[in-house]
Amino acid sequence: MKKRVIVGLSGGVDSSVAAYLLKQQGYDVIGLFMKNWHDDSVTISDECPWLDDSNDAMLVAEKLGIPFQTVDLSAQYKERIVDYMFNEYEKGRTPNPDVLCNREIKFDVFMKIALDLGADYVATGHYCRKGTIEKDVKEVFQLLAGKDNNKDQSYFLCQLSQEQLAKALFPIGELQKPEVRDIAAKADLITADKKDSQGLCFIGKVRLPDFLQQQLKPKEGVIVEIPKNNFNYTNTKKSFNTKTEELQYLSRKAEYAVADGEVVGKHQGAHYFTKGQRKGLSVGGKVEPLFVIDTDVKENVIYTGQGKNHPGLYKRALFVSNEELHWVRPDLALKTDETMNVLARIRYRQPLDKATLYKVDSGLYVEFENLQSAITEGQFVAWYLEDELVGSGVIS
């Protein structure tokens, strides 16, 4: 009996080649397109509207001679991704919809549909790999970085579980992007030269402020510039009684007040802005551009600093609470007071940096060897042992 694989065909080149390779490998392949979005009012229309994508996905399936259908997951997408995003932005946190989309939609709702259709596996066009090892007579699945360093997408899958990985296949993880395009061209797939979509998972390019304004009403507030010699940076503490005390200090949130700086402009809502952001502030006349160093959604104030080296942008440590801590490899999970040396990143495409994990009763500290720019609440930190992603968490 051939093993059945259902491929999430997105209408892009990566998933097209994933389907092609699986067919070559002798699997019984079915293509499924996920429709996750109905509201075109916030989509920048000529950038990857879902209709073109579903059409391309259908043509690829036809070319490969595999069955194809579309599933409408927009209700689940709205509830699990969009509502969550609005909720996070309202709290002044910055969510990562792509990570959530993989955990909640592709490898949960979509996977359940696939398994109901008799699939043995679900495949996607992600640039990452899956490994299998045996530990205590049990199969353990590994999430490994893609071979193409420029395209490695393991970070986006940092919330997957062993159950999800068991059923997942990543056919292009061993390939470089140019090889993928080459395979598509040779197989005469319509997506061979198609541009990669940039934008929210399955929605396409969205005007984020328009998108957020649907739920979060504009509310005028002030933009405050904090000088580089603010007391938060000059009165640094040097001695600590315990390592935990030091980590608490290093990961603390700086406290700012309007009186600490100069009001330099107005904005339409602190919840539309995120730490490290430069665009959209519309404040001129500065020697260096302003960057958001903090937002206060309660008081509706945006705190900014001049230049990308402003001390308000940098921290060495962060904290993840137990509720938001996830181990892709539960067998490696730390117990209280244990530590682990890892490589970690706080955003996609960021080079991995050396870090140490410290497990405490309430959660986990990640202390980096180097200062990190714009550690942002609500984003995901992911940690690796060599090229294996072993765990992740939401930054508190």
Is 246 within a domain?
Answer: no
Give me the domain span that covers residue 172: 4-213
- 48 as an active site residue: the answer is no
Is 245 within a domain?
Answer: no
Residues 56 and 172 in one domain: yes
Q: What is the pLDDT of residues 40-85, one digit of tens each?
A: 655 555 554 678 889 999 999 999 999 999 999 989 988 998 888 8
Q: What is the pLDDT of residues 290-343, one digit of tens each?
A: 999 999 999 999 999 999 999 999 999 999 999 999 999 999 999 999 999 999
Q: What is the pLDDT of residue 48?
A: 47
Q: What is the pLDDT of residue 205?
A: 56
Give the number of domains in the chain.
3
Q: What is the mean pLDDT of residues 10-39?
A: 93
CA separation for the pair 258, 115 (Å, rounded): 55
- 101 as an active site residue: the answer is yes
Query: Of the residues 293, 308, 323, which one is the last residue of a structural domain?
Result: 308
Residues 273 and 322 in one domain: no
Residues 195 and 324 in one domain: no
pTM of the model: 0.94
Crossing angle of helices 13-24/50-64, nearest 10°? 20
Residues 180 and 61 in one domain: yes
Q: What is the pLDDT of residue 212?
A: 72
- Catalytic position from the list 48, 128, 158, 201: 201
Gyration radius of the chain over CA positions: 23
Is 343 within a domain?
Answer: yes
Of 203 and 342, the one with more pLDDT: 342
257: CATH: 2.30.30
Residues 176 and 33 in one domain: yes
Residues 127 and 155 in one domain: yes
**Per-residue pLDDT band at 202 (split at 50, 70, 90):** very low
Per DSSP, 251 falls in state T
Q: What is the pLDDT of residue 51?
A: 81
CB-CB contact of 272 with 212 (8 Å): yes
- Catalytic position from the list 48, 101, 128, 158: 101
Is 247 within a domain?
Answer: no
Q: What is the pLDDT of residue 42?
A: 57
Residues 161 and 16 in one domain: yes
390: CATH: 2.40.30.10
CA separation for the pair 123, 130 (Å, rounded): 11
E strands, the chain, are: 4-8, 28-35, 68-72, 121-123, 128-135, 138-145, 168-169, 221-225, 262-267, 290-296, 301-306, 314-321, 325-327, 339-345, 353-360, 363-373, 380-385, 388-394
Residues 178 and 202 in one domain: yes
Q: What is the mean pLDDT of residues 131-160?
A: 97
